[in-house]
Amino acid sequence: MATKQISRRSILKTGAAGIAAMALPMPFIKAASAADGVVLGAVYVGPRDDFGWNQAHAVAMEILKSTDNVTVIEEENVPETDSVSKSMESMINLDGANLILGTSFGYFEPFMIDLANKYPDVQFRHAAPLWSEDKHPANLGSYFCYLNQAHYVDGVAAGLSTTTNKIGFVAAKPIPTVLSNINSVLLGARSVNPNVEVQVIFTGDWSLPVREAEAANALVDAGCDVLTCHVDGPKVVIETAEGRGVKSCGHNASQAALAPKGFITGAEYKWETIYSMYADMLAKGETLPNVVVGGYHNDMVKNTAYGAGATPEAIAAADAAIAGLKEGKPIYVGPLKDNQGNLVLDKTFDNYDPVLDGMNYLLEGVIGSIT
Amino acid sequence: MAQAETSFATPPAYDTARIRASIEAVAIPLGALVASAIIFSVFLTLLGKSPLQFFELVWRGGFGSSFSLQNTLQRATPLILTGLAFAIPARIGLVMIGAEGALVIGGFAAAALAIPLVSAEAPVYLTMLLMVLIAMAAGGAWNAIAGWLKHSRGVNETISTLLLTYIAIAIMNFFVEGALRDPASQNKPSTMPIGKDYMVGNIPGTDVHWGLVFGLVLAVALQVLMSRTTFGFAARVTGGNPRAALAQGLPVGTLIVVCSAIAGACAGLAGYFEVAAIHGQANASLVAGYGFTGILVAFLARHNPLMIVPVAIMFGAIEASGGLIQRRMDMPDATALVLQGIIFVVLLASDSLYGRFAIFQPKISTERT
């Protein structure tokens, strides 16, 4: 009974504050929000220094910390259970967060959907293309970068770096985003070297360091002389490649420091583009877009600065590929067959075509199986 | 008064001895907690952080407001059940660390059973009941395998429960990514959602699901079972000395398997609530480490089912305030783990203190073991 009263009172208070804020004239709001600033709360599923997905987000938030009137609050190692709701609610209730950024796939449903309904005055954005207008609340949204474009560039550089014509790919699970990255590496490599094959090993889960090391070693043993990957923390794969004396391409964040001899380049997110846009818009009192997606054409992905493993030819070809992607040059130039011989893409598709989001095949030229 | 009642059967000194022993059983863990807090404060001071601010934040994040309190209780709920899953076999002398696996297999079984029932639009309460039963049965049977292996083949139960956990996770992944996958769950393989109607709600007026009530009831029931029944007595005798128990004609094998099954059923029930109250489906998120935190909880509660409740709440509070500590003190997430680790080590060390303090010792010798 007592708890009910308190929570009702706090809801009333929040509601009253919201109504009061809306009733105030515009200039006043600006002054008020300038005083309070914008509070961005980011929640990560793993540690901030994982050399991968979480680090990519944390690096972007770190850049925002130096912005005036922007307060960044973060929480790491939050599992995809009801802990995430509570972490986010705590950021709202105790730290006054205006925008909550959920960076792990499983945070969205049901946790962020429920929270968005519960806190209509707070904005929620989630890092995967899951939001849809007719199903989800208006203060919730999605942002996502097509990293496969940067993997395509990896492929171009790798295609000119391999002497055995075999690129090794350590992958977590056979889901569409991973498959698209594998296929993009293949298409990038084949665009400069038609004899290249990509050999893939699925480890079965996002973070299995021992199995990732085994897979990386097995790929080198099978004759691959460039390795790349799509797992949560690419550290193990890149270090194993360096240790075995083969070249490597990174994923998610910069792994250049892990492979001073063999690192070519890597596919990296530029979340800071999205996060600073959100902070700017909130500071100006503008409504945030529900969906933000992008790739090279709008500065949302990048390739890691070339390492010692990149030859001048590879650099030239990769730079040309980046220029092409910025102009919207398509990666999936049809018709394309999968590695079972079935026609899967009958024509050329734009890099953002939704058809590609449901990818469930490996293209011809990839050695491996998704079942 | 107590004397008057008991003077028939036992000498008065026996009563004082019992009271002294009870005080000892509370005072030593409390002292261990205080000692851990002091050690942790030194650790914080060395890092240049304020211990005072830390404990103030733990209080604020864990209990300071109705939101914080509900946050704590919600996080404590699975820990009560997984704590029980460790404590019950511990009473019979088994170190079973497989609550995580039993939780996963129980939750998965419930979600799998829900698929045909929900699509046939079966009555809601019947579906819930069947899901609870299958979750407990699946978790119980899973853990009973380790108990049976222990008794019949002499397989170390700690190793077998740990390995069974990996197998349980692999089985769930196999089905969730294959035959039972909801085609709509493209990038996060999951079973079909059971739907809002079939989900377990919150305790009215709070943000905490009904799993908490189940946990409390089970804790009381198991306390009674272990300390007030012949079964519990036999189990404790077996835990004390299995050979003596065998010599007395106690059904040691049955006791071991039943205790393992009870433990697995508790964890399976935790799995049911993860599926039916939180996720609405089974997927890799079930593997959240509750089973392993439960081991710490049970140890701290000295395998006493009732004590598990406050200890789980304390752990819930540490976890609930973890975010606030990360944000306000700019400390990594591992801070809470360091505190948990210190508590665990100090508590284990404090086990050697029992019987060392004269003040807790009875004046005359009794038959107390």
User: Could you tell me if B327 lies within 8 Å of chain A, comparing CB atoms?
Assistant: yes
Helix (H) / strand (E) containing A85: helix A82-95
Q: Name the residue of chain B whose CA is nearest to A128's CA.
A: B187
User: Could you tell me if A94 lies within 8 Å of chain B, comparing CB atoms?
Assistant: yes
User: From the list B288, B320, B332, which residue is nearest A81 (CB)?
Assistant: B288
Distance from C-alpha of B84 to C-alpha of B344, rounded to nearest angstrom: 17
Q: How many CA atoms lie within 13 A of B325 on its CB side?
A: 29
- In angstroms, the separation between the Cα of residue A111 and the nearest Cα of chain B is 9
Binary contact (B327, A75; C-beta < 8 A): yes
What is the b/e burial string over B40-63, where b = at least 16 CB atoms within 10 angstroms of the residue's CB?
bbebbeeeebeeeebeebbebbbb
ipTM: 0.74
Confidence of residue B185 (pLDDT cuts 50, 70, 90): confident
Does the pLDDT at position B230 exceed 70?
yes
Angle, helix B51-62 to helix A82-95, in steps of 10 degrees: 110
User: Could you tell me if B229 lies within 8 Å of chain A, comparing CB atoms?
Assistant: no
- List pLDDT tens digits, range B319-330: 888 888 888 888
The answer to whether A181 touches A267, Cβ cutoff 8 Å, is: yes
SS (HEC) of A320-341: HHHHHHHCCCCCCCCCEEECCC
Nearest Cα neighbor of A229 from A82, A73, A53 is: A53
CA–CA distance from A345 to each of B169, B183, B225 (Å)? 35, 21, 64
**Which CATH fold would you assign to the domain A2-146+271-298?**
Rossmann fold (3.40.50)
Helix (H/G/I), strand (E/B), else coil: A243 = helix
User: Could you tell me if A75 lies within 8 Å of chain B, comparing CB atoms?
Assistant: yes
SS (HEC) of B310-348: HHHHHHHHHHHHHHHHHHHHCCCCHHHHHHHHHHHHHHH
* Radius of gyration over every alpha carbon of chain A, rounded to an integer in angstroms: 22
Distance from C-alpha of A105 to C-alpha of A108, rounded to nearest angstrom: 6
User: Could you tell me if A49 lies within 8 Å of chain B, comparing CB atoms?
Assistant: no
Q: Name the residue of chain A whose CA is nearest to B173's CA.
A: A204
- List pLDDT tens digits, range B23-78: 887 888 889 989 999 999 999 999 899 999 999 999 998 998 888 999 999 999 99
Q: Which residues contact A180 (CB under 8 A, 6 or more apart)?
A: A148, A356, A359
Give the pLDDT of residue B322: 87
The answer to whether A351 touches A149, Cβ cutoff 8 Å, is: yes
Residues of chain B above pLDDT 90, percent: 66
Amino acid (1-letter code) at residue B90: A
The residue among B56, B58, B68, B71 with the most chain A CBs within 10 A of its CB, best to mutate, is B71
The answer to whether B85 touches B291, Cβ cutoff 8 Å, is: yes
Q: Delimit the domains of chain A by residue range.
A: 2-146+271-298, 148-268+303-367
The first and second tokens of residue A249, run together, are 């391409």
Give the pLDDT of residue B365: 52
Alpha helices, DSSP H, located in chain B: 2-6, 12-46, 51-62, 66-91, 99-119, 124-148, 157-176, 211-228, 230-240, 242-247, 252-273, 290-300, 305-329, 334-350
Q: Name the residue of chain A whose CA is nearest to B328's CA.
A: A73
Residues of chain B above pLDDT 70, percent: 94
* Extended beta strands in A279-371, E state: 291-294, 301-303, 336-337, 343-345, 366-367
The answer to whether B259 touches B147, Cβ cutoff 8 Å, is: yes
Q: Which residues contact B356 (CB under 8 A, 6 or more apart)?
A: none
User: Could you tell me if B351 lies within 8 Å of chain A, comparing CB atoms?
Assistant: no
- In angstroms, the separation between the Cα of residue B153 and the nearest Cα of chain A is 31
User: Could you tell me if B71 lies within 8 Å of chain A, comparing CB atoms?
Assistant: yes
Long-range CB contacts (within 8 A, 24+) of A59-66? A59/A253, A59/A271, A59/A272, A60/A269, A60/A270, A60/A271, A60/A272, A60/A274, A60/A275, A61/A275, A63/A272, A63/A275, A63/A276, A64/A40, A64/A272, A64/A275, A64/A276, A64/A279
Distance from C-alpha of A340 to C-alpha of A363, rounded to nearest angstrom: 8
Nearest Cα neighbor of A140 from A156, A165, A117 is: A117
Distance from C-alpha of A229 to C-alpha of A237, rounded to nearest angstrom: 7
Distance from C-alpha of B252 to C-alpha of B233, rounded to nearest angstrom: 12
- List pLDDT tens digits, range B88-146: 999 999 999 999 999 999 999 999 999 999 999 999 999 999 999 999 999 999 999 99
Binary contact (B323, A90; C-beta < 8 A): yes
Q: Which residues contact B9 (CB under 8 A, 6 or more apart)?
A: none
Give the pLDDT of residue A28: 33
DSSP A295: S
The answer to whether B72 touches B62, Cβ cutoff 8 Å, is: yes
Could you tell me how far CA A167 lies from the centroid of its own chain? 23
Q: Which residues contact A332 (CB under 8 A, 6 or more apart)?
A: A183, A187, A345, A348, A349, A351, A353, A356
Give the pLDDT of residue B87: 96
Long-range CB contacts (within 8 A, 24+) of B352-361? B353/B28, B354/B24, B354/B28, B357/B24, B359/B20, B360/B20, B360/B21, B360/B23, B360/B24, B360/B27, B361/B20
The answer to whether B187 touches A175, Cβ cutoff 8 Å, is: yes
CA–CA distance from A254 to each of A51, A245, B33, B358 (Å)? 7, 19, 43, 62
User: From the list B177, B187, B322, which residue is nearest A177 (CB)?
Assistant: B187
Distance from C-alpha of A187 to C-alpha of A191, rounded to nearest angstrom: 6
Give the pLDDT of residue A257: 93
CA–CA distance from B128 to each of B110, B137, B193 (Å)? 9, 14, 14
Report the first-to-last Cα separation within chain A, whole angstroms: 54
Helix (H/G/I), strand (E/B), else coil: B283 = strand
Q: What is the CATH number of domain A148-268+303-367?
A: 3.40.50.2300
Give the pLDDT of residue B13: 63
Average pLDDT over residues B315-319: 91
* Radius of gyration over every alpha carbon of chain B, rounded to an integer in angstroms: 22
pLDDT (tens place) for every residue of chain A, 371 residues total: 343 444 545 544 544 444 444 333 333 333 333 336 899 999 999 888 888 899 999 999 999 988 888 999 999 989 888 889 999 999 998 889 999 999 998 899 889 999 999 999 999 999 988 899 999 999 999 999 999 999 999 999 999 999 999 999 999 989 899 999 999 999 999 999 999 999 999 998 888 899 999 999 999 999 999 999 999 889 999 999 999 999 999 999 999 999 999 999 999 999 999 999 999 999 999 999 999 999 999 999 999 999 999 999 999 999 999 999 999 999 999 899 999 999 999 999 999 998 998 899 999 999 999 87
Give the pLDDT of residue A17: 47
A148-268+303-367 shares the fold of A2-146+271-298: yes
Q: Name the residue of chain B whose CA is nearest to A109's CA.
A: B279
The first and second tokens of residue A59, run together, are 């690096």
Distance from C-alpha of A249 to C-alpha of B50, rounded to nearest angstrom: 43
Helix (H/G/I), strand (E/B), else coil: B202 = strand
User: Could you tell me if A95 lies within 8 Å of chain B, comparing CB atoms?
Assistant: yes
What is the b/e burial string over A52-79, where b = at least 16 CB atoms within 10 angstroms of the residue's CB?
bbbbbbbbbbeebeebeebbbbbbbbbb
Does the pLDDT at position B5 exceed 80?
no
Give the pLDDT of residue B362: 63
